[in-house]
Every structure is written in structure tokens, then in C-alpha cells.
């Protein structure tokens, strides 16, 4: 098969929905064999079926689930070239309201899940037939740079993902040369995660309009636009890029604020 990921095997977490599903579709269209993982089994199976991929039930916060997911990828396809640590949850609470159980849940999925993914992917990538090779894409956020007052745990988790990525990247560069790790920092993206926040606000249309105007480009991004960024980092086109941050925020940070 031809394409920008021809011959590669990619595992995408949280791929039943939003950015992860868009990555799974684009990666398959670019020639990758894709392992779709999520905790939403019905939706995940549908994404995998549509692209001819493999679906694995996989709670990223649990190490035994990582062992099983990577083993399933290796059993099905014999190697692992790309991991997109995309699964994430958003639970808004300011630091004053921050409930310890919510903190642990958000950090568990967003940061610990990403750490476990890097650990298990690197172990698989260094043992790839033909020698160590691979690219890990960690989905952080614009909140890896700036504080979202309404979401202390989420902000902390995404800041953690940004710097964890650099530790993984430097380790892999020194130890294996050909295993890379980068972070992707979306601004606001039109996905079910944000739709849930709009619906909870009591004014979904007003919230949607507000989110559109928050970015200098005047609109949210689509999940497909984030998948295109992940594709660059996943593919050999970014072969000299490691430990880097790809900010895709419609100019938000360049403007110094939302408006
Ligand atoms: N939507 C945005 O504006 C935005 C902005 C910046 C960063 N992000 C990040 O992008 C990533 C994808 O978000 P999205 O907007 O596509 O959201 P989404 O809610 O559409 O998708 C997230 C997916 O993660 C899965 N998931 C949740 N907990 C999981 C777990 N424990 N194990 C495995 N899968 C789990 C969900 O089932 C869901 O399918 C997240 O990491 C999110 O924080 C999103």
C-alpha cells in the first residue's frame, strides 16, 4: 500500500471519538495498519471496522491494559511504528473546588496513561524487526502552555505531558537514535469533548459561538486538522523532529490571549 505511513503499524488511543478517530481514519488512508483502542467499545469497533483495523478495549490508566494492547498489536501486525497517546478526559474544577478523586482520575488518564503508553511503546519499538524505529505523538493542549482557571487538574496533566515528552525524546534519541517523541498542542477543536461542555453550559449555541471567536482565525479546528498535524509527526517526514511541540491553536498564543 502506498501513502505517507505505508508499511507502518500505528496504535491510536481514545480512537473511538474526536481527534483519535480522525487520526485512525487518516493514518489508515495513508497506508498504516491501525490499532484502534478506547473504552467506548461500540464506537471504537465501528471506527476500526470502517478502516479495516483492529479494535482493542484499553483503559490507558491501567498498566495491564497497556501490556495487552501492545501485545495485541504485535500479534496482529508484528511491529509497532507509531503511537498516538490521544485518550483524554476533561473535568472542569478550579483549584478551590479540586476534588482529590477527580484530580487523580484526570492525571491518571491524561498523564499516567501517556507515561504508560510511552513506556510500553518504546519497549516494542526498540525490538522492531529491522532495528529500533518509531514515532510517539503525545496529545497535550494549549493548556500545556497556559493555565485554564476552570480546570486545574486538566491543565496540570497537559503541562506534564509536554515535559514528559522531552524526557522520553532525549532518552530515545540517546539510546536508540531512531525512536522519536513529540507533543501536539491543539487549541479548541470541534469534538464531542467540547460539545459536552457546550451542552452542560445551558447555552450550547452561545458557547459554540464564543469558542469560535476565541481564536484569531475565528473558528474552532476540526478533528481532521489535528490528525493532519499528528500525521506529520508520525511519518518519516519529521525524521529530525524529536522533543518538539507542534502548537495548532489558530493563532491563540501568538495573540497573547483568547481575543
Ligand atoms: N477538543 C479540544 O478542544 C482539545 C483541545 C486540546 C487538547 N485536546 C486533547 O485531545 C485529545 C482527544 O480529545 P477529543 O477532543 O477528541 O475528545 P473526545 O472526548 O472526542 O475523545 C476522547 C476519547 O478518549 C477516550 N477515553 C477517555 N478515557 C479513556 C481511558 N481511560 N482509556 C482509553 N480511552 C479513554 C474516550 O472514550 C474518547 O473516545 C484529548 O487528550 C484531549 O485532552 C482536545
For residue 249 and ligand 1, the question of a CB distance below 6 A is answered with no
Residue 238 has pLDDT above 60, yes or no: yes
Q: Dihedral of CA 77/55/172/123: which sign?
A: negative
For residue 215 and ligand 1, the question of a CB distance below 6 A is answered with no
Classified as helix, coil or strand, 135 is strand
Angle, helices 204-214/192-201, rounded to nearest 10 degrees = 130
Residue 256 lies in a domain: no
For residue 186 and ligand 1, the question of a CB distance below 6 A is answered with yes
For 6-30, how does the pLDDT look when each residue is reduced to its tens digit (9 = 90+)? 999 999 999 999 999 999 999 999 9
Q: Full-prediction pTM beyond 0.95?
A: yes
For residue 108 and ligand 1, the question of a CB distance below 6 A is answered with no
Cα 256-241-59 angle, rounded to 5 deg: 80
Question: How much distance in Å is there from the Cα of 224 to the middle of ligand 1?
Answer: 14
For the chain, what is the domain count? Answer: 1
Residue 44 lies in a domain: yes
With a CB cutoff of 8 Å and minimum separation 6, the contacts of 6 are 30, 31, 32
Give the mean model confidence (pLDDT) for residues 75-89. Answer: 98
Q: What CATH number does residue 151 fall under?
A: 3.40.50.720
Q: How far is CA 114 from CA 25, 47, 162, 164, 215, in A?
A: 21, 22, 10, 9, 27
Q: Dihedral of CA 47/123/243/63: which sign?
A: positive
For residue 189 and ligand 1, the question of a CB distance below 6 A is answered with yes
- Residue 198 sits in which domain range? 9-248
CB atoms within 10 A of CB 240: 7
For 92-140, how does the pLDDT look when each residue is reduced to its tens digit (9 = 90+)? 999 999 999 999 999 999 999 999 999 999 999 999 999 999 999 999 9
* 8-state DSSP, 93: B
Question: How much distance in Å is there from the Cα of 92 to the middle of ligand 1?
Answer: 14
Residue 254 lies in a domain: no
Query: Mutate which of 46, 143, 191, 210 to test ligand 1's pocket (most atoms within 8 Å of Cβ)?
Result: 191
Residue 79 lies in a domain: yes
Are 224 and 161 in contact by the 8 Å Cβ rule? The answer is no
For 149-191, how does the pLDDT look when each residue is reduced to its tens digit (9 = 90+)? 999 999 999 999 999 999 999 999 999 999 999 999 999 999 9
Query: Mutate which of 11, 59, 88 to test ligand 1's pocket (most atoms within 8 Å of Cβ)?
Result: 88
Residue 25 lies in a domain: yes
- pLDDT band for position 31 (50/70/90)? very high
Residue 258 lies in a domain: no
pLDDT at residue 259 in the model? 55
Concerning whether 77 is annotated as a catalytic residue, the answer is no
Residue 255 lies in a domain: no
Distance of alpha carbon 54 from alpha carbon 72, whole angstroms: 9
DSSP E strands in 81-196: the ranges are 82-85, 134-139, 179-186
**Residue identifier of the C-alpha nearest atom 17 of ligand 1:** 193
Residue 42 lies in a domain: yes
pLDDT at residue 205 in the model? 94
For residue 40 and ligand 1, the question of a CB distance below 6 A is answered with yes
Taking the CA atoms of the chain, what radius of gyration do you get in angstroms?
17
For 48-74, how does the pLDDT look when each residue is reduced to its tens digit (9 = 90+)? 999 999 999 999 999 999 999 999 999
pLDDT at residue 143 in the model? 96
Amino acid at each position: 500500500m502506498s501513502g505517507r505511513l505505508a508499511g507502518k503499524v500505528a496504535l491510536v488511543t481514545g480512537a473511538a471519538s474526536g481527534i483519535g478517530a480522525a487520526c485512525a481514519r487518516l493514518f489508515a488512508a495513508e497506508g498504516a495498519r491501525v490499532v484502534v483502542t478506547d473504552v467506548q467499545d461500540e464506537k471504537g469497533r465501528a471506527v476500526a471496522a470502517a478502516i479495516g483495523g483492529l479494535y482493542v478495549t484499553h483503559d490507558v490508566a491501567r498498566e495491564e491494559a497497556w501490556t495487552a494492547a501492545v501485545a495485541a498489536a504485535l500479534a496482529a501486525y508484528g511491529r509497532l511504528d507509531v503511537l498516538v497517546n490521544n485518550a483524554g478526559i476533561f473535568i472542569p474544577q478550579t483549584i478551590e473546588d479540586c476534588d482529590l478523586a477527580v484530580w487523580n482520575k484526570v492525571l491518571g488518564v491524561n498523564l499516567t496513561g501517556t507515561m504508560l503508553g510511552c513506556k510500553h511503546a518504546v519497549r516494542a519499538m526498540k525490538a522492531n524487526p529491522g532495528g529500533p524505529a518509531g514515532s510517539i505523538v503525545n496529545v497535550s493542549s494549549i493548556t500545556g502552555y497556559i493555565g485554564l482557571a476552570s480546570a486545574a487538574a486538566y491543565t496540570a496533566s497537559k503541562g506534564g505531558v509536554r515535559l514528559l515528552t522531552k524526557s522520553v525524546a532525549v532518552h530515545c534519541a540517546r539510546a536508540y537514535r531512531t525512536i522519536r517523541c513529540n507533543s501536539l498542542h491543539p487549541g479548541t477543536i470541534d469534538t464531542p469533548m467540547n460539545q459536552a461542555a457546550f451542552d452542560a453550559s445551558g447555552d450550547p449555541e452561545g458557547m459554540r459561538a464564543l469558542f469560535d471567536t476565541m481564536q484569531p482565525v475565528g473558528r474552532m479546528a476540526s478533528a481532521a486538522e489535528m490528525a493532519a498535524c499528528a500525521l506529520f509527526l508520525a511519518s518519516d517526514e519529521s525524521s529530525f523532529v524529536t522533543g518538539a511541540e507542534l502548537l495548532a491553536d489558530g493563532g491563540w498564543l501568538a495573540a497573547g490571549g483568547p481575543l
